[in-house]
Amino acid sequence: MKTQTVTRKSFRREGEDKRREDLIAATLECVAERGLAGATVREIALRADVTAGLIRYYFPTKDDLIGAAYRAVMNRMTVQASDALQNAPNDPRARLYAFVTANLGQPIMDPNNLSLWAGFIGLVHADPAMAVAHREGYLGFRDELEALIREALLAVGKPAEAIHTRRHAIAINAIIDGLWLEGCLAGDIFADGELADTGITAIEAVLGISLKAEGGAP
Amino acid sequence: MKTQTVTRKSFRREGEDKRREDLIAATLECVAERGLAGATVREIALRADVTAGLIRYYFPTKDDLIGAAYRAVMNRMTVQASDALQNAPNDPRARLYAFVTANLGQPIMDPNNLSLWAGFIGLVHADPAMAVAHREGYLGFRDELEALIREALLAVGKPAEAIHTRRHAIAINAIIDGLWLEGCLAGDIFADGELADTGITAIEAVLGISLKAEGGAP
DNA sequence: CCAGTATTTATACGCTTGCATAATTAGAGC
DNA sequence: GCTCTAATTATGCAAGCGTATAAATACTGG
């Protein structure tokens, strides 16, 4: 008769996609709470209720997991912004308005997102693969923004040549990024909606059109 | 007769300030080249041509050294921007112009600076001491900017009440931060001076005044 | 219900890390 | 030139890291 001296952790088998998602989610939790350095394989495994060895079964190396997590964050923010567009009215100016305010409010403007983003950005300079991942995300965002800007300009009968819309996209992207940063880092010193409001006002000034009321062109 | 079996590293005693500066400089090198994770006490000591133990003689803990390095970076950027102000003409609008372009050009807009900044920002959320250091730097920068904005507005006879200048400072700070970010991350895809130019144009639009030519008020 | 396999656990190894502490030495002051 | 002390080196340690690999187990298809 054999006594059960040690008990092995019971477990359930999960689909590959589910596990990957869980592991990425656990990684994001770690980074958000304790910085990139706090995202150790053991801590990640603990949060995912899994043993450390399993991580390597799904991700060849820890850096692969980290990279996947980065892409997940960026993708999530992109999707959230796109969702706001889906629910926006059909008017081009209203769509640009919705896009901007979505990026400057919850859940995109969140300290956790910034921690994640900053931790990864710090690696961009050293890791070429991360650099590629980042550039793609940045250009994708800016292109989407530029399209919105063009349509908004055309809607009020303003010229919208590529040379100008590119410049506008660069500037407005900067406004969004900058305000997003400020809000993530010190959201408590701003009134609710103040940053989104500030962003809209600044963007209206840059484009020379109104985004809220009717009638922008003279 | 005693043979010299092992040779001990020869060294010179240095002043406390000099050593601290050297150690901070070595830290910044490490972070810039290989990210925050690459800044280990041993690597830092190597670059400073010193043994690892000495670090603890000047900084109680590694985090203290990291924090000091962060403050040094921010301070350096602040000083460089202030230098640009010193050499600027006395006209308020020219001074704001100089401040903006200085922050959006070399040596402030540099990938290394971003790596350092991002690495540290990633810690802000987890480490209260870093959070304090950051907030002080941020508010200091914004206050300086707000003062420049007020003077520029007054110079052209525009109203410059605190409620408005604060908003302007928030927006323009965002423009500068956002463009600085873009330039640091992907400076190669922009023409020389393009970002500074874009920034000036956007800021002029936000304030409704010209910063280059004479005569801004109607 | 049984076998086979993909998934998961468990264990261990080698390395690096930050930090402590003892031994040494350069340089200042008398 | 001697002495004393503060600055520096050298050595070691315990903890935590990522990764490798073998053993165990839950599920799938027949």
Q: What is the pLDDT of residues A189-206, one digit of tens each?
A: 899 999 999 999 999 999
Sketch the domain layout of chain B as residue ranges: 14-59, 67-207
Amino acid at the residue A179: L
pLDDT tens across A95-150, in order? 999 999 999 998 999 988 888 888 888 877 777 777 887 888 888 899 999 999 99
* Nucleotides in chain D near protein beta carbons (<7 Å): 7-12, 16-22, 24-27
> Quick one: DSSP state of residue B190?
S
Lowest-pLDDT range of A1-10, A172-181, B84-93, B122-131: A1-10
* Cis peptide bond N-terminal to A107, omega within 30: yes
- The topology (CATH level 3) of A15-59 is Arc Repressor Mutant, subunit A (1.10.10)
The answer to whether A218 CB sits below 7 Å from nucleic acid chain C is no
Question: Chain B contacts of A113, Cβ < 8 Å?
Answer: none
What confidence tens digit (pLDDT) does each residue in B99-140 have? Answer: 999 999 989 999 888 888 888 888 888 777 778 888 888 888
Choose the mutation target among A34, A120, A170 for the interface with B, i.e. most B CBs under 10 Å.
Answer: A170
Per CATH, the architecture of A66-207 is what?
Orthogonal Bundle (1.10)
Residue A212 amino acid letter: K
As a whole number of angstroms, the distance between CA A10 and CA A156 comes to 64
Which chain B residue has the Cα nearest residue A175? B175
| Residue at shortest CA–C1' distance from C17 | B40
Given this model, what pLDDT does residue A124 score?
Answer: 79
CA B213, distance to chain mean position in Å, is 29
Phi/psi of residue B10, nearest 5 degrees: -75, 155
CB contact under 8 A, B114 and A121: yes
CA A200/CA A100 separation, integer angstroms: 7
Do the beta carbons of residue B130 and residue B120 sit within 8 Å? Answer: yes
Chain B positions in Cβ-Cβ contact with residue A165 (cut-off 8 Å): none
B67-207 has which fold?
Answer: Tetracycline Repressor; domain 2 (1.10.357)
What's the confidence (pLDDT) of residue A64?
A: 94
Does position A183 have pLDDT exceeding 80, yes or no?
yes
> Residue A20 and residue A23: Cα distance in Å, rounded?
5
Residue A53 beta carbon within 7 A of nucleic strand C: yes
How far is B33 from B56, CA to CA, in rounded Å? 23
User: So what's the architecture of B14-59 in CATH?
Assistant: Orthogonal Bundle (1.10)
